[in-house]
Structures are given as structure tokens and as C-alpha cells.
Amino acid sequence: MTLLDRQQNISRDRQLRERAAHVIPGGMWGHQRAEAVPAGFPQFFDSGQGAIVRDVDNHEYIDFMCAWGPMILGHRNEVVEQAARAQAEKGQCFNGPTEQVVELAELVVEMVDHAEWALFQKNGSDAMTGCVTIARAGTGRRKVLVARGAYHGAVPWCSPSLVGVTTEDRAHIRHFDWNDIDSLNAAVAEAGDDLAAVVVSALRHDLGIAMEMPSVEFAKAARAACDETGAALIVDDVRAGFRLDLGGSWNLVGVQPDLSAWSKAIANGHPLAMITGNDRFRTAARDVFVTGSFWYSGAPMAAAIATMRELRRIDGPALMRRAGERLRAGLDEQAARHGFALIQSGPPAMPLLQFEGDDEKSSLGEQFCIEALRRGVYMHHRHNMFLSCAHTDAVIDTALEATEGAFAALHAQRTNNE
Ligand code: PMP
């Protein structure tokens, strides 16, 4: 059965969507909410292996979303799964942490350049909120500066939606423009002696707009502003962490944060997040109250240790960069041949694919992704994609055979419409 057939017949995906609509608000929540998954994209998945995912209707796709980030070594990586399984077989949750928590914190301090301590949680939103709380505790101040349009999590102080959010939740949040030193300095001046933290993403990866690395000047200005005022520089490495640089993403611009938030890829799909910090904020990190029912469970920590060691052993960031460059070059060549101009932005390991002249909703991009899905490749047209270490040259070349067909189909549709 092709994906096209599936849309016309009652697929397992459709059945599940209909059942979900009765018992899950809106049919699904968050970034997977039903109205955000375009028709033609599968919503429910069954399994994965390496660079391949399989949906509930048994269609396989080369996966360029990697669970929206976590699968950095590929699905069911044997080294990671063995480590997680070994702990899970002994038990998951106890009255205290397993010994892996110490080994993991030691490894993090060894690998992440600015880290002199680490603590572990479950979600990127937890980690970002924890960083802000620690910065406020450490400085005794309230104001937090955030780049306009940046995503830092699904909690009231930073949620992209204001539904259910009070003015008080945002009372001490102020904004600046990404990579704009004047705008940052103006916000710093306005916060005055109440400035607790400057929050930056590893890179600009706002939904639906071209990605942008931090300029070295901007990164240095952010560091200088924090040094001059005593505020904390917080890097949100939740999305980019370990894909670009194993020592922390702002190593690329030569600037070290005081605090960083991590999640997504650190345990190759096992639920884990972390805050890393330097000694200036050690006491504050000790004094704030952060905890959670599952934050000490052992198997995700065993998975994280294995993930980090494996990424270091194989030089994961270099592999993913190479795979991303191969994909990018192939797509550019195909697009040009079929009469389309692409805007490919972001680091190759986290690419965003856009079409020049596309509309606000990225309709052409969406159509391309649907044609790619029909041919066994899962891409996204508005959110950055993710490469993994399982994307070998052979996998990229197979994906490019499918995208060749997708561009041809898009070209044929355009010709028919003219
Ligand atoms: N920060 C960034 C940059 C993110 O991409 C995300 C998740 N997409 C978060 C924070 C929040 O992480 P989580 O969904 O795990 O709470």
C-alpha cells in the first residue's frame, strides 16, 4: 500500500487519529498537535532502526527529523540500548539514584567546556527554567533577557503561546533581537541593576525562518554584558547540544556560558535533560529546589553515558556535518535542475530547507515534503531537520534518489498549473 492509497483508505493512522480525537484534547498536544501535522504526514509511528522509521501503516522512511532531535546515534543504537537495558533489568527507580548519576556528572564535566557541575532532569523546559531560577538565586535579581521569537520551552515564563499565561508570569522577561548588539545593550541598560540573566539559543532556530548562527561579535557582546553587570549568560543547548560540538555549541564562537540547558540528544532517545554550570553558580544550584518523580531513574543515565562516549569515540559532530553537507549539495543540485531555488540554512547537521518565493505557510515546502514522504523520506518544511550518525553516505544517496522524484513531481505539478 502506498501512502497515497493509505490516504484514500482507512488507515491505522486515521483510525488512531479518530480515537485520539475523543480522548486527547485536540487529538494530540504540543508540537505534535493534530492540526500541526499536515495531511499526508503520518502521525503515529511503530518502530525505528538506524536512520529508518516505520509508521503504524508499515511505511518506512529515511528519517531526517530524528524524533525532533533526540536520535543522534540513530534509532535503537545497540551500544546505548545495551547500557540502558542492563540497568533497566536491575530496576529503574529506587529510593535514591543509581551510581550512574556520579559517573554521568563526571563525564559531563570532562566533556562540556564550561561545566564544573551538572544536574539531571527530564525535559528541556525543566532545564531552561532551572537555569533561570539558578541565575536569579545566584544574582538576587529578577530581569531575564530573551531573544524575540526564540523558543525556550512550554512553561509560562517562555511559552510561545499566551493562552493561560498571566502578565505576572512574564513580568520580568525582556526582549532583544538576535545578533543585534545595540538591541541587546539597550535591553541590558533598561534592566539596570536588576539583570539576572541573558538567555541565548545555541543558534537562531525560530520556526519557519532561515536559521542563523550567532556572530562572534554578538556572542562576545553577550558575554561582556554579563561580565560587566554580574548577570548569568545562559545558553539553551536543548536542541543543538552535542550535534555541533561535544564541548557545547558556543565553543563554535569561542564564548563560554555560565549555565547551559540540555536535553533532546543527550541520551539518544531516553528521557533526560541536564543543567551544566560553572563554579560561580554552584551554591545557587545547591540552594534552589529542583526535583521530579523520575529525575533519578537509572537507565536514561546509563544511556546518556553510552551516548556521550560513543559520540566522542566516533566524532559524531564531524560525521553528522559530513552527512548534512552531502544532503545539502545533492538537494541544491536537484532543485536547480528542476527549476527551483532553495534556501538551505543552519549548520549541515541541523538543516532547514526552504523554497525561494514560497508563501508564508511554506506551501511549496510542504508539497515537497509530501512528495518525499510518498517516496520514503521524512523531512520537514518549517522546523529544522536533524541528521544522525546513522546517516551514512549510502543512506543519504538513497534519500537523494527519492528527493529527485519529489522535485520532478513538484516540477510537473507546476507545469500543469501554468
Ligand atoms: N529549548 C529549545 C531550543 C528547544 O528546541 C526545546 C524543545 N523543542 C526546548 C527548549 C524545550 O524542551 P522540552 O520540549 O524537552 O521541554
**CA 3 to ligand 1 center in whole angstroms:** 30
**CA 115 to ligand 1 center in whole angstroms:** 20
Q: Which of 109, 128, 107 is nearest to 117 (CA)?
A: 109
pLDDT in the model for residue 3? 54
Which residues approach ligand 1 with their CB closer than 6 A? Answer: 123-125, 128, 151-154, 201, 236, 238-239, 263
- For the chain, what percentages of helix, strand and coil (3-state, to nearest 5) are there? 45, 15, 40
pLDDT in the model for residue 417? 83
| CA 127 centroid distance within chain | 13
Residues of the chain short of pLDDT 70, as ranges, are: 1-9
pLDDT digits (tens, 9 = 90+) for 325-336: 999 999 999 999
User: Residue 45, class by beta-carbon neighbours within 10 Å (0-12 exposed, 13-18 middle, 19+ buried)?
Assistant: middle
- Closest CA to ligand 1's atom 1: 152
Paired residues of 282 in beta bridges:
none
**CA 123 to ligand 1 center in whole angstroms:** 7
Distance CA 370, CA 379 (A): 9
Atom of ligand 1 nearest to the CA of 123: 15
- Closest CA to ligand 1's atom 12: 124
- List, in order, residues 6 or more apart from 183 with CB less than 8 Å away: 176, 177
Atom of ligand 1 nearest to the CA of 240: 3
- Amino acid (one-letter) located at 59: H
Distance CA 70, CA 72 (A): 6
**CA 127 to ligand 1 center in whole angstroms:** 9
C-alpha cell at 334: 536537484
Instruction: Give the gyration radius of the chain's Cα atoms.
Output: 22
SS3 string, 24-86, reads: CHHHCCHHHCHHHCCCCCCCCEEEEEECEEEECCCCEEEECCHHHCCCCCCECCHHHHHHHHH
pLDDT in the model for residue 1? 47
